[in-house]
Amino acid sequence: MIVIGADTRKGSHALAAIDEGTGRVRGSCEIRADDAGHLAAVRWARGLDEERVWAIEDCRHVSRRFEQALLAAGERVVRVAPHRMGASRKGQREPGKSDQIDALAVARAVVKDGVESFPVAYLNERAMEIRLLLDHRHDLVADRTRTVNRLRWHLLELCPELERSLKRGALNEVRMLDRVDRRLRALTASARIRIARDQIAQLRSINRRIEQLQAELLELVTAHRPKLLAEQGCGAVTAAILIGHTAGQRPERVGGHHQQLGENWALLAVWG
């Protein structure tokens, strides 16, 4: 088995893999701190060894996204408190190579003390399902935004007064899409009109899928953490965010408006 240490930064992450039995370095690399980089990291790791555990320094303001991406990919992850790597780092720094040295220090700390002595990051099966559906909904919303923007550019040329009258989010509604489509059908056929009507059809499909996902999330959240929905301002999507993105974290780690949920943090009994 290999242990892959990760030194996480805002823009990039340094990774170093060592053999659990011998301590031999099996490989190292640096990835971007984005979705493409996270995917590249999993591909790289799977090419090194079939059995592996990821060891991530527990600084979740920068490591959370990477940790959650690994969990979504089915990887095993443990968290390493910064003070656990002090001895591993001592005397090893070299100019220009501190990130890789820190990644190695994380991995070596886990090998030294044993994987079982570190807290495991995890999402339980229900939380994982909620997280995956939530991420899919997020992608669809982004697709919808791009399609709306392209459609509005065409409408600016075809029906400028109609385009100016559209409020934010108007094209998420069936009624408004019907109105725009009727207006386009009344115009002389052209390539631009054909493209615009295709985009309206895309929006109809995307809107339906988003609504279906929201209904699924409501059903899952109701079954998993129903009391969250009783909180003021906490609908299905907000509850899904809490369950899917904060699982494995202590409540004091989470900032922003999520702290307003007060005592219901205790309901999210999935801390690592």
- Superfamily of domain 2-121 in the CATH hierarchy: Ribonuclease H-like superfamily/Ribonuclease H (3.30.420.10)
Distance (Å, whole) CA 9 – CA 126 = 30
Give the N- to C-terminal CA distance of the chain in Å, as an integer. Answer: 22
Which residue numbers in the chain have pLDDT < 70?
60, 84-99, 123-124, 245-272
Tokens 């935004």 locate to 145
Q: pLDDT for 155-193, tens place per residue?
A: 999 999 999 999 999 999 999 999 999 999 999 999 999
Are 63 and 56 contacting, i.e. CB atoms less than 8 angstroms apart?
A: yes
3-state secondary structure of 133: helix
98 and 42 Cβ atoms separated by less than 8 Å: no
pTM beyond 0.75: no
9 neighbors 111 (Cβ within 8 angstroms) = no
Q: What are phi and psi of 26, to 5 degrees?
A: -100, -15
